[in-house]
A = this chain, B = another copy of it.
Amino acid sequence: MSPEVKTPDPARRSERSRQAILRATRELVSEVGYAKLSIEAIATRAGVGKQTIYRWWRSKGAVVFDSFLALSEGADGMALPDTGDIAADLKAVLRATVAEFADPAFEAPIRALNLEIAGDPELAAQYRKKLAGPVDEAKKERLRSAQRAGQIAADADLDLALELLYAPLYQRWLLRSGPLTAAYADALVDHALRALRP
C-alpha cells in the first residue's frame, strides 16, 4: 500500500475531491451536455456533497470552466517544442491536436465549451483572458523564435499566423466538414508557412 493511505492529509484529501469534481464535470458535460448538467449530478458522480462544490464554485458555469482549465494545467508547460525546425515542430503539435479531436472523451466537452462560448460574449471574454490568451501567447513565442531564425517574416502578424494554422482545423472539426488526418495537419502547416515566409 502506498504511504498516502497510511497518513491521512486534509490538504491532499481536498485536492483529491477537487480533482474528482472536475473530472466528473468533464465526463457529465460530454454525456448529457451543458444544459442538462446539474450540480447534484456532479456531486453524486464525484462522491462529494453539493455543499463541497458550492464552497469552491459559485455556479455551474464556473465549475465547467475550471474543469477545462484543469486540463491545460495538467499539460504543464504550454510551450511548444523548439527543435529549430518550425515546420517539424508545428506539424508535431497539429498532429497531436488532430489526434485529440479524434478522441470522443476529449472532443465532446471541448465542443460543449465552444458552444457555450460562442453563445455567451461574457464567457468568451473570460475564456480568452484565462485560457485561450495564455495558450496563444505560448504559441506565439515559438513563432517569434522562428522569426529570429529567419523562417517566418519579421513583420508577420502573429494573430493572423495562428488563425491560418489553427482556424481551418477548428472549423473542420466544429462543423464536421471534412476528415481530420495527420496529412491534413501537415498540409495546413506547409500552407501557413508558405503564406508567412520572409
Contact = CB atoms under 8 A, between A and B. Distances in A.
A130 interface: no
Contacts of A176: 121, 124-125
Contacts of A3: none
- What is the interface of chain A mostly: helix, strand, loop, or mixed? helix
Contacts of A146: none
Interface residues on A, range: 35 or more
A159 B178 contact: yes
A160 interface: yes
Given A132-B177, A191-B196, 16 more contacts: A33-B119, A114-B118, A115-B118, A117-B175, A118-B118, A124-B175, A125-B176, A160-B187, A160-B188, A163-B171, A163-B172, A164-B192, A167-B170, A168-B168, A170-B171, A194-B195
Cβ-closest 4 pairs across A and B: A163-B168, A195-B195, A167-B167, A167-B171
25 contacts: A111-B118, A111-B119, A115-B115, A117-B175, A118-B174, A121-B176, A124-B175, A124-B176, A125-B176, A128-B175, A157-B187, A159-B178, A160-B187, A163-B167, A163-B168, A163-B172, A164-B164, A164-B168, A164-B191, A167-B167, A167-B168, A167-B170, A192-B195, A194-B195, A195-B195
